[in-house]
Copies of this chain bind each other. A is one copy, B any other.
């Protein structure tokens, strides 16, 4: 049930309880609130309507006596009919809630659902968000780009399954710069890299397949593969990335079909896989016949003087790496433009499923993305973003040093968005999440990325303003101490 924005009007001549009764009846008879739906607790409802508990109870009793709702023995009130009692002769309308529970796709974790919702509360300080702060997005350039598009022929029709040729050739040239040769016929444009995972899970893997991946991993936080019936098996990492020495045994033990990796500025740990590891991983994967799905989301966001080692796909001479990239982490997540690079039959298979999924990505977004690369702004914009992200990282590290040094240890990322923090104390991360939320601070607990990461959290220095960061980091440090005191 959505937040209830409506409140009874105390200056009205209609009693408050009747106003509430009327409001709720309207929601129920219109079908907006469905049969089977649970109402919030009496306390929560009374708070939402800003009335006394007794006023609320009067309204609920009226609705109960008319047969709309019923209290359940285990507590809680449920909507049971859409019509007043005398109309019950006709059977009740479909119980949508049963449908909602039946679907095969997993719901998001409650924590992630909360994060997804609260990120749109403008009062929140977002210390976990994996997204560039609006001030870092290329507003001005995109404005110019729109003005330019307004002068061109508008791409309003359905587009080619692989994506527009204009964008695929721009992406091809772009990839060349990170060492990946990919002709346009081996590139599929997707609506963000998340969609690529969805397509791969539907198009390339048998139900019940197993994927190896880093532990922790971004991929644990989405259900693309699990919902399609795949198993995810985490490989241990160290400061040089995933430990390749385990790959062969894991592949054998779990009969794995694919290995997913974020070799560069790994989400959530920030780790970069060393050059040697990359070559070892490729060699192993070739030897044991385990193809690789490489996620290059943060690849261009290095802070040092040198770029990180080349992507696996650049080292791959055998077509064993599927590579996924995105515009989300540097240019604009709202564009929803990403790409998959791979052998032609794979790309064509994925394109066919994409056609069945959404008939291709927004042609406006594709035109804007092609224009972006074509205008030659990318390299300069990357330099700006790197500089600014580095400043933000340094600020976050200073705050950690100043306020968290007795509380935790953390990584020092050389690129990307994230710092992976490990608390000393064994406090409940779910409690920290909840308490922080109440204070207007949104954090990403580690357990989203690895169920056993009970002492970790992922801090992002990409989103919040520097002032907000300071305020929130101090407040969090107090909270952690407080929760720790309560729990010992």
Q: Which of A139-147, A235-243, A414-422 binds B?
A: A139-147
Do residues B333 and A158 form an inter-chain contact, with CB atoms below 8 A? yes
The answer to whether the Cβ of A318 comes within 8 Å of any Cβ in the partner chain is: yes
The answer to whether the Cβ of A434 comes within 8 Å of any Cβ in the partner chain is: no
The answer to whether the Cβ of A176 comes within 8 Å of any Cβ in the partner chain is: no
Do residues B346 and A34 form an inter-chain contact, with CB atoms below 8 A? yes
The answer to whether the Cβ of A44 comes within 8 Å of any Cβ in the partner chain is: no
In the bound assembly, the distance between CA atoms of A93 and B37 in angstroms comes to 52
Do residues B317 and A29 form an inter-chain contact, with CB atoms below 8 A? yes
Contact pick for A320, options B83, B94, B207, B358, CB 8 Å: B94
CB distance from A478 to the nearest CB of B (A): 30
The answer to whether the Cβ of A169 comes within 8 Å of any Cβ in the partner chain is: no
Residues of B within 8 A of A33 (CB): 343-344
Residues of B within 8 A of A352 (CB): 107-108, 113, 116
Residues of B within 8 A of A30 (CB): 181, 317, 319
Residues of B within 8 A of A103 (CB): 202-206, 349, 353
Tell me the dominant secondary structure on chain A's binding face: loop
> Which positions 354-384 of chain A face chain B at CB distance < 8 Å?
355-365, 368
The answer to whether the Cβ of A227 comes within 8 Å of any Cβ in the partner chain is: yes
Contact with B along A188-212 (1 / 0, CB 8 A): 0001101100100011111101000
Do residues B357 and A194 form an inter-chain contact, with CB atoms below 8 A? yes
Residues of B within 8 A of A123 (CB): none
CB distance from A108 to the nearest CB of B (A): 5
Report how many residues on chain A are interfacial, defined by Cβ distance under 8 Å.
119
Residues of B within 8 A of A74 (CB): none
> Which positions 57-96 of chain A face chain B at CB distance < 8 Å?
82-83, 90-96
Residues of B within 8 A of A21 (CB): none
Q: Which of A149-157, A271-279, A398-406 binds B?
A: A149-157
Contact with B along A141-182 (1 / 0, CB 8 A): 011101101110111111111000000000000000000010
Closest to A156 in B: B332
Do residues B105 and A345 form an inter-chain contact, with CB atoms below 8 A? no
Contact with B along A304-341 (1 / 0, CB 8 A): 00000000000011111000000010011111110000
Residues of B within 8 A of A185 (CB): 2, 32
In the bound assembly, the distance between CA atoms of A29 and B181 in angstroms comes to 13
Do residues B287 and A31 form an inter-chain contact, with CB atoms below 8 A? no
Contact pick for A105, options B106, B202, B328, B348, CB 8 Å: B202
> A96-B343, A195-B357, A335-B362 are known contacts; what are 12 more A-B pairs with Cβ within 8 Å?
A32-B319, A34-B343, A90-B286, A91-B286, A116-B355, A134-B156, A139-B156, A194-B359, A198-B358, A227-B356, A332-B363, A362-B364
Report A's interface with B, CB cutoff 8 A: 1-2, 29-34, 36-37, 82-83, 90-97, 99-100, 102-108, 113, 116-117, 119-120, 131, 134, 137-139, 142-144, 146-147, 149-151, 153-161, 181, 183, 185-186, 191-192, 194-195, 198, 202-207, 209, 222-224, 227-229, 257, 286-291, 316-320, 328, 331-337, 342-346, 348-349, 352-353, 355-365, 368
A-B CB proximity, top 6 nearest: A31-B319, A334-B363, A146-B150, A362-B362, A93-B318, A156-B332
